[in-house]
C-alpha cells in the first residue's frame, strides 16, 4: 500500500512541478497510446513511408500540435492530424525518449516500460489478459502498475520531452527542411531495444 501511495504522490508532485493537470495528462496519454500502433506500425504508415511529400513535414509544427492538442480531441481526429503532421519515426522517437526517462521518476521504471512496450508499443502487442500472467503479476497489481506507467509516461512526455524539443528547435533558428537534420530517426519502436531482455517479474 505504501508503494502505491508513494507512486501517486510522486505523480502529483511531478504534475505540480511541471504545471500539468493530472487528469488531463492521463487522458491525453491514453489518446496518444491509442493511435500509436496505427501511426508507427499500421497500414496507413506503410503507405506513406518514403513518399516525397512526407519528407517535407515540419517537425516544429508537429511538436507544437502534439504539445497543445486539447484533451477533448477524439481518437479519429487525433490520428488523422498526427498522420498529417508526423513522420512515423519522429513519433516513435518521442515516445521512446519519454519511455526511457520514466526510470528517473520511479523505482519501478523498468517494469513500467515493459508493460507499456508489450501492451501498446510493440508491433505485435499483447492483450492485458495475456500479459499479466506472462509478467507473473496478479490482475490487480498489473492494472495498478499499468495506470501508474501511463501517468509517468505522460508526465515525461509533456513535462520534459516536448518542451525541450520545442525549445531546441526555437533556439536553433534553422529553416524548415533543416529540421530534419535535428531529428534522430528511431531505429524502430521503443520495445525493439528491449527485445532480448528477460521477462520482468514482480
> Residue 98: which pLDDT band, with cuts at 50, 70 and 90?
very high
Q: Say if residue 11 is exposed, middle or buried (CB neighbours under 10 Å; 0-12, 13-18, 19+).
A: buried
> Residue 42: which pLDDT band, with cuts at 50, 70 and 90?
confident
Residue 185 has pLDDT above 80, yes or no: no
Q: List C-alpha distances in Å: 76 to 48, 82, 102, 180.
A: 18, 10, 28, 27
Residue 8 has pLDDT above 50, yes or no: yes
* 44-89 pLDDT tens trace: 555 555 554 445 578 899 999 999 999 999 999 999 999 888 888 8
Q: Which residues are within 8 A (CB) of 179 and not within 5 positions of it... i.e. 6 or more apart?
A: 58, 59, 60, 169
User: pTM of this prediction?
Assistant: 0.79
Grid cell listed for 159: 513535462
pLDDT value of residue 43: 56
pLDDT value of residue 84: 87
What is the rounded CA–CA span in Å between residue 25 and residue 71?
A: 8
> Residue 173: which pLDDT band, with cuts at 50, 70 and 90?
low
* 110-165 pLDDT tens trace: 999 999 999 999 999 999 999 999 999 999 999 999 999 999 999 999 999 999 99
Amino acid at each position: 500500500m505504501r508503494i502505491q501511495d508513494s507512486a501517486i504522490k510522486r505523480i502529483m508532485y511531478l504534475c505540480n512541478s511541471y504545471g500539468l493537470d493530472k487528469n488531463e495528462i492521463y487522458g491525453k496519454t491514453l489518446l496518444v497510446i491509442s493511435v500509436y500502433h496505427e501511426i508507427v506500425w499500421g497500414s496507413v504508415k506503410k503507405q506513406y513511408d518514403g513518399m516525397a511529400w512526407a519528407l517535407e513535414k515540419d517537425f516544429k509544427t508537429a511538436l507544437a500540435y502534439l504539445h497543445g492538442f486539447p484533451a477533448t480531441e477524439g481518437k479519429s481526429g487525433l490520428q488523422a492530424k498526427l498522420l498529417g503532421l508526423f513522420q512515423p519515426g519522429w513519433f516513435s522517437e518521442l515516445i521512446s525518449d519519454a519511455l526511457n526517462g520514466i526510470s528517473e521518476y520511479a523505482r519501478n521504471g523498468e517494469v513500467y516500460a515493459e508493460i507499456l512496450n508489450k501492451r501498446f508499443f510493440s508491433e505485435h502487442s499483447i492483450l492485458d489478459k495475456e500479459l499479466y500472467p506472462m509478467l507473473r503479476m496478479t490482475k490487480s497489481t498489473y492494472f495498478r502498475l499499468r495506470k501508474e506507467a501511463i501517468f509517468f509516461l505522460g508526465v515525461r512526455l509533456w513535462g520534459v520531452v516536448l518542451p525541450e524539443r520545442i525549445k531546441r528547435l526555437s533556439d536553433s533558428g534553422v529553416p524548415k527542411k533543416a529540421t530534419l537534420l535535428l531529428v534522430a530517426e528511431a531505429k524502430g519502436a521503443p520495445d525493439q531495444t528491449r527485445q532480448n531482455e528477460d521477462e520482468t517479474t514482480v
